[in-house]
Homo-oligomer: A and B are copies of this chain.
């Protein structure tokens, strides 16, 4: 699956040819505002996600002629640069915080929160940064990948409340925990492929080398993502 891109010889250029949004939460979209305004790339997302983006005129700085927005249907393959076949699939979650409204739907499987599956030359990678529940179909999809990255926001559901950093549970925020009978460690036990926790909140003790939680996760065969991590398949 190796495809290495380098900045070209242009005065200003980046190796970014496409960005695939898995949702329109701030931490999924605000980075686009640092990529404006003259660097061409394609922006992919579900109709729901791109509608949230379109509701924020600030993103119009990414001019359509330079950054075309491509609506992608769930479960339909689409082609990225370099012969990568991509596919978006719905994952239990929620709408972005700023679009929750008064009675937010939490944990439902909609096009507002998706995972991405990438396939190239037989290698398969799955990326699920936000997930509120792990059912059999998702487990099966993850099991078939050579490697996957998965929502590691919180270790325990009441972590923010216990640490005094917030008032919401993990599930209220659309994130299944690492620990517990319905957590990702338990629900994804028995897999043998590369499993990598991402989107890890700074309250999560798996970030602390030497902590019991860190040891537990590593002994279960998981990796903990870090800035600049590269995954070769």
Give chain A's interface residues, CB within 8 Å of chain B.
11-12, 26, 29-30, 33-34, 36-38, 55-61, 96-99, 163-166
Given contacts A26-B61, A55-B56, 20 further A-B pairs with CB under 8 A are: A11-B163, A11-B164, A11-B165, A26-B36, A26-B58, A29-B58, A30-B33, A30-B34, A30-B58, A37-B97, A55-B57, A56-B56, A56-B57, A56-B58, A57-B98, A58-B58, A58-B98, A59-B98, A60-B98, A61-B97
User: At the interface, is chain A mostly helix, strand, loop or mixed?
Assistant: helix
Write the nearest CB–CB distance from A100 to chain B, whole angstroms. 9
List the B side residues contacting A99 at CB < 8 Å: 57
Q: Determine how close the nearest CB of chain B comes to the CB of A187; give it in whole angstroms.
A: 28
> How far apart are the CA atoms of A34 and B97 in the complex, in Å?
14
How many copies of this chain does one complex carry?
2
Contact with A165, one of B12, B34, B36 (Cβ below 8 angstroms): B12
A58, B59: Cα distance in complex, Å: 11
- Known interface pairs A56-B58, A57-B55. Does A38 touch B166 (Cβ–Cβ under 8 Å)? yes
Residues of the B chain whose Cβ atoms lie less than 8 Å from the Cβ of A33: 26, 30
Q: Provide the residues of chain B in CB contact with A98, threshold 8 Å.
A: 57-61
Tell me the complex Cα distance, A125–B29, Å.
35
Bound form: Cα–Cα A29–B57 in Å? 13
**Using Cβ atoms and an 8 Å threshold, which residues of chain B touch A163?**
11
29 A-B pairs whose Cβ atoms sit less than 8 Å apart in the complex: A11-B163, A11-B164, A11-B165, A12-B165, A26-B33, A26-B36, A26-B58, A29-B58, A30-B30, A30-B33, A30-B34, A30-B58, A37-B97, A38-B165, A38-B166, A55-B56, A55-B57, A56-B56, A56-B57, A56-B58, A57-B98, A57-B99, A58-B58, A58-B96, A58-B98, A59-B98, A60-B98, A61-B97, A61-B98
